Structure 1
């Protein structure tokens, strides 16, 4: 079953790369419809890949580290560009919690002989570019949509390794971190529902 999943991931990744190659220096992230298409494609790639990349210790640790880097950078942008207080507060929580997660995982990865990446992959860089290009209410919408997908992906990764991981230290870390990510996911889903219920042109109410 892994081969069809990996083929699907590869195809989706190629499509995502094709979209990103069309970006211009003047408009990183392109126009709003293309931003949404890129983010949706990234979510599909992440959902498929999280089921397979977490099957190895290196795959799990690498992707957990990249997830933390993305969450920290996106959270900083949310505090800077967010329109609603809910988005700003959620961004601040992401910076705090994912900095703590990253700090806790580093020695565990080292003990497992895994060298962690020092920068995000192209997919997550593309998500950050889209956030940088978004403004006003469009930023809040893009951030919330990205966060729902990112936390679903991270939760799949953590639960998978917590169940079947091969390194005891990282396996315990995954089991400990998964409930925290679930709480984040529940909160951002509630923000998403509030934003959808708000009148057109308005952002989600502050919390």
Structure 2
């Protein structure tokens, strides 16, 4: 009887040890999986930020070269700029929990919808057709917004906004100065102060997010 009890106790101890080892192995596997997932997320975030920075540089160059005087390039970039702003803002209104970011996004929808309506007849008068959809560069910005984590979303959105509004301001001021179509030059000049205000506000929010 005593031997039976000892064997039972030994078996129970072995089972307990096996269970503990299994739990430890499962926890280790879960930790390794989480670490790998976090590393993949961080790598994707870094890649998206790098692509956004490259896209911003390309946009700045375009705005300050061809877009500043070529009517077709100006119309394409101005119309896509408004389209991107509205789409990005609609995403921000749904995803952001920061009241300043949400208020800014609401202003973007209102003001860029208004600027689209204002520029459309001027573009038609210049025999130009606004872009029907975003190009790959701007669609990439939208894709990166949609894929940003909740923790990174506000900074991703506002960083994009600072770059996009600097690009838009350069485009508008450049065409207002060097463009060939009088109607579009006037429209560009009229919109520039509003875009400057947007840029200043975006930079203010950006500074707050870094603190």
Q: Secondary structure at the match of 1:119?
A: coil
Q: Distance in 2 between matches of 1:192 and 1:181?
A: 16
Query: 1:23 is matched with which residue?
Result: none
**Aligned residue in 1 for 2:147:** 133
The TM-score with structure 2 as length reference comes to 0.78
Q: How far off is 1:83 after superposition?
A: 2.2
CA drift of 1:53 comes to 2.6
1:5-20 pair list within 5 angstroms: none
Whole-angstrom CA distance in 1 between matches of 2:107 and 2:151: 20
| TM-aligned CA deviation for residue 35 of structure 1 | 1.0
If each structure's helix is expressed as a fraction of its own residues, which one has the higher value? 2
**Structure 1 match to 2:101:** 87
Q: Which residue of 2 aligns with 1:41?
A: 54
- Distance in 1, matches of 2:123 and 2:193, equals 20
Tell me how many residue pairs correspond in the alignment: 169
Mapped partners of 1:116, 1:184: distance in 2: 22
Map of 2:63 onto structure 1: 50
CA distance in 2, matches of 1:141, 1:109: 34
Equivalent position of 1:118 in the other structure: 132
For the residue of structure 2 that corresponds to 1:31, the secondary structure is helix
Deviation of 1:58 (Å): 1.1
Matched, 1:109 2:123: yes
Higher Cα radius of gyration: 2
1:69 maps onto 2:83 in alignment: yes
Tell me the C-alpha RMSD between the 2 structures: 1.2
Residue 128 (structure 2) pairs with residue 149 (structure 1): no
Distance 1:163 1:129 in 2: 34
Aligned to 1:171: 185
- Structure 2 stretches of 5 or more lacking a match? 1-39
SS of residue in 2 equivalent to 1:113: coil
Q: Which runs of 4+ in 1 moved over 4 A?
A: none
How far the C-alpha of 1:101 sits from its partner, in A, is 0.4
Gap runs ≥5 in structure 1: 1-26, 198-207
Instruction: Give the Cα separation in 2 of the matches to 1:63 and 1:91.
Output: 20
Q: Residue 65 of structure 2: SS of its match in structure 1?
A: helix
Tell me, in whole angstroms, the C-alpha distance in 2 between the residues paired with 1:158 and 1:135: 33
- Cα deviation digits, residues 121-173 of structure 1 (max 9, x gap): 01000000000001313000100100000000000000000111111111000
Question: TM-score, length-normalised on structure 1?
Answer: 0.79
